Amino acid sequence: MNGRRLAWDRSDIQYVFQRCAADLTDESDSHSRYTDGERFEEPRPAPAREHGEIEALARKSQGTKTSRRRPAESRRDSGTAIDDSFADRAYKELERQIVTAQIRPGSWVTEIALSEQLGISRTPVRQALQRLARARLIEIVPRRGLRITEVNASDQLLLLEFRREAERYLVGRAADWADDHGRSRFQALAVEMERAGTASDVAEHYRVDLEYKLLLVKAARNDYAGDAIAPMWALSRRFAWVTRFERDIGRMSSLTAKVMSAIAKGDRELARACNDAYIDGLVDLARRSLELHLGSSAARSGIAPM
């Protein structure tokens, strides 16, 4: 085999490896995964092979669908929707870790560390971090890095002031526009929420509440409203999680269940009134948290709280 033939075979092998690698990624992440200079690895030159061997290698690689570069991806939860982009998956997982204080408020994080933790390349992780910054769960500090925002009762009170009006709109539309299946589901969730409150089951309360909010946006049939309120819900979930020992789960579960039942009945005004009562409950909790914080701060400083 002469030198010219050897160069041609090596090129063929490189082409086969690159095509096989491309088949292992979905369309949404093909650019970010294989053009990221820190993760892309050029195939090393291999010994010359005949064309029959090259074709067999290609069939074997495509049949196994394995990748050395992304072992964590193959172990991801099978429940994740197959059409989710890697940026969406990174966002959901990071939001979950921040909301549940698994990544603690005030802590500093890096894009590289989060990428390694999630097993996702840096480009989609960067996109997820930008979304989290817009949702005010992460603060981008120039020349320093990324910082998880603090939980602040004063900020929560401001958020709830606006959230009250946004949710009045959503529950009103849901009461008007929900179909029969949606109304049945709202009523079923109301029963599940009451049960969670009776049992003081915090985890079940959060599970039902999240499903309720997803159903609420769907029933309201306004994606713009859903996009606007989603960051507020994320911040409120984190505040509720961090202050969960201060909240009355039974009371809040009952207030939430009443909103669901009103939507199920198609009563717009009742749904709005019940939601106002629910927001009032959240305001009480935020004020109580603020008073506790001011009281502890005053005790440390030796000043009597006002």
CATH code of the domain covering residue 125: 1.10.10.10
pLDDT tens, N- to C-terminus, the chain (306 residues): 444 444 445 445 444 444 444 444 444 443 443 334 444 344 444 454 444 554 554 555 555 444 444 444 444 444 334 335 899 999 989 999 999 899 999 999 999 999 999 999 999 999 999 999 999 999 999 888 999 999 999 999 999 999 999 999 999 999 999 999 999 999 999 999 999 999 999 889 989 999 999 999 999 999 999 999 999 999 998 998 888 766 688 999 999 999 999 999 999 999 999 999 999 999 999 998 888 877 655 444 444 443
Question: Do 170 and 294 share a domain, yes or no?
Answer: yes
Count the domains in the chain: 3
Residue of 207, 202, 213 lying closest to 243 (CA atoms)? 202
Exposure string of 30-68, with b = 16+ CB inside 10 Å and e = fewer, is eebbbeeeebeeeeeeeebbeeeebeebbeebeeeeeee
Burial category of 223 from C-beta neighbours within 10 Å (exposed 0-12, middle 13-18, buried 19 and up):
exposed
Question: Do 138 and 179 share a domain, yes or no?
Answer: no
Exposure string of 134-167, with b = 16+ CB inside 10 Å and e = fewer, is ebebbbeeeeeebebbebbbeebeebbeebbeeb
| Per-residue model confidence (pLDDT) at position 265 | 97
What's the CA gap between 172 and 100, in Å, rounded?
30
Question: Do 65 and 78 share a domain, yes or no?
Answer: no
Domain boundary among 148, 177, 198: 148
DSSP tag of 149: P
Q: Does 175 map to a domain?
A: yes
Domain boundary among 16, 46, 69: 69
Question: Do 174 and 289 share a domain, yes or no?
Answer: yes
| Per-residue model confidence (pLDDT) at position 31 | 40
| Per-residue model confidence (pLDDT) at position 85 | 87
| Per-residue model confidence (pLDDT) at position 1 | 47
pTM for this one? 0.66
Q: Does 168 map to a domain?
A: yes
Q: What is the CATH number of the domain that holds 248?
A: 1.20.120.530
| Per-residue model confidence (pLDDT) at position 291 | 86
| Per-residue model confidence (pLDDT) at position 53 | 54
Q: Does 180 map to a domain?
A: yes
Domain range spanning residue 95?
Answer: 74-148
What's the CA gap between 258 and 183, in Å, rounded?
13
